[in-house]
Amino acid sequence: MKNTMVGNTLVGLAACLFVGMSLMDCGPQSPVSGMVGSGGNAAGAGNGGNGAGAGNGGNRGGQTGIVHNLGGSTSTGTDTGGDDAGIGQSLAAVWPPPSPPFVNVTDAATGAYALGPPLTSSGDAGAVGGGSGTSTPATQCAALLGVVRDFKMGNQSGGHPDFETAPVADDPGIVASTLGPDGKPTYANTTGGNTPSTHGKAYFDQWYNDVPGVNMSYILALHLVNDANGTPTCAATLPNSSFFPLDNQGFGNQGQNHNFSFTTEIHTAFTYKGGEQFTFSGDDDLFVFINNQRVINKGGRHAQESQTVLIDSLGLTVGNVYDIAVFHAERHTNQSNFEIQTTLSFVNCGKVNNIIY
How many other CB atoms are found less than 10 A from the CB of residue 229?
Answer: 8
Q: What is the mean pLDDT of residues 181-192?
A: 93
Residue 255: exposure state from Cβ atoms within 10 A (0-12, 13-18, ≥19): exposed
Rounded mean pLDDT of 108-127? 78
pLDDT of residue 126: 54
Give the whole-angstrom CA distance, residue 205 versus residue 92. 34
pLDDT at 30 exceeding the cut of 50: no
* 198-230 residue pLDDT tens: 999 999 999 999 999 999 999 999 999 999 999
Mean local confidence (pLDDT), 309-315 = 98
Q: Please give the pLDDT value at position 101.
A: 83
Q: How does residue 326 score in pLDDT terms, banded at 50, 70 and 90? A: very high
Q: Is 276 exposed, middle or buried (0-12, 13-18, 19+ CB in 10 A)?
A: middle
Average pLDDT over residues 337-346: 95
Buried b / exposed e across 303-334, counting CB within 10 Å, b at 16+?
ebbeeebebeeeebeeeebbbbbbbbbbbbbe
Distance CA 81, CA 58 (A): 9
Residues 6+ apart with CB under 8 A from 321: 134, 269, 270, 271, 272, 347
**Confidence check: pLDDT of 91 > 70:** no
Residue 261 pLDDT: 95
Residue range 243-294, pLDDT digits in tens? 999 999 999 999 999 999 999 999 999 999 999 999 999 989 999 999 999 9
Consecutive H or E run containing 295: strand 293-298
Instruction: Name the band, by pLDDT with cuts 50, 70 and 90, for residue 355.
Output: confident
Instruction: Provide the greatest CA pair distance for the chain.
Output: 56
Q: Give the pLDDT of residue 54.
A: 32
DSSP state of 192: S
- Calculate mean pLDDT across residues 138-152: 82
